Amino acid sequence: MPLVHLNGHDMYYEVHGTGDPVLAMGGWGTYCHGGLGNLARGLTDRYQVVIFDYRGIGDSTDDPAVPVTMALHAGDAIALLDHLGLKNVHLVGLVGIGACVCQEIAMQRPDLARSMLNMGAWARVDDFLRDQLELFRWIHRDAGFLAFQLAVCVLSFTPEYYNAHRDKLLGPEGGWKELNGRYPAHSRLIDACVSYDAVDRLPTVRCPTLVIHAALDQVTSPRTTEIIEKAIPGAEGLYWWDVAHVVAGKEQKIRFCDTLFAWLARH
């Protein structure tokens, strides 16, 4: 798939499938380069799915002289959708920054937003979330990637899933592997996260919105996601009492697929 120069940097992206367009974004990582298995199973069979590498990870470049914000990342995604000639796109943002980028797109370019799904998200960081994100930064900087990976995995999965899959989650091919050896890129992603504040602007969102509240999430709990639902006119909320920051395990993944496909079909 191609590299294209957009919004002042070279962006790597992939397009899979045919049908109504879906922009899928996750947390500090990428669905590209063979990562399609982390998307909802069957998504690319039913929809045209657009995925890309955030600045500084994968094959996308970055310019450290450019101040990084959530609006900058949204500008990257908007430029890509415009480049592809897409309108009326389903925005699917999961596990952190991707959900916030979806919010920015819906606010900046209503013509692009057909629907939006947010999970593992926030609209404003409180002290607890800010200090968690900064802690991840310090651990990665001072103790290295594997220490960061351990910290974020412990906080992102249920104890049952972590105990059963620890060997798969940890190590060079484990979770958040795209950040391995890329501390500067990770630090800039954190900069965008901790500075994000959209609570006062979210009432301008007009697309149908579903916010999933993961009750066991130790990072972006309903404490942060309920604010999104309350701020967006007509937004719907769904509570999953047994889910942590990352949807994991067969039962949870099937539930997510069923929920996502039902949501997309409605809109």
Residue 40 lies in a domain: yes
Residue 203 and residue 232 in contact, taking contact as beta carbons nearer than 8 Å: yes
Residue 186 lies in a domain: no
Domain range enclosing 89: 3-126+198-266
DSSP 8-state class, residue 253: H
**Which CATH number characterizes residue 74's domain?**
3.40.50.1820
Residue 100 lies in a domain: yes
Residue 233 lies in a domain: yes
Identify the CA nearest to 148 among candidates 133, 165, 161, 162: 133
| pLDDT at residue 80, rounded to an integer | 97
Residue 241 lies in a domain: yes
DSSP-H helix ranges across 109-182: 127-143, 145-156, 159-169
pTM: 0.95
231 CB neighbour count, 10 Å cutoff: 21
Sequence-ordered strand ranges (E) for 41-152: 48-52, 89-94, 113-119
Can you tell me the distance from the alpha carbon of 217 to that of 225, in angstroms, rounded to the nearest whole number? 10
Residue 155 lies in a domain: no
Residue 116 lies in a domain: yes
- The total domain count for the chain is 1
Across the chain, which has 267 residues, the per-10-residue mean pLDDT values are 90 96 94 88 95 96 95 97 96 93 97 96 96 97 98 97 97 95 97 97 97 96 97 97 95 96 96
| pLDDT at residue 95, rounded to an integer | 85
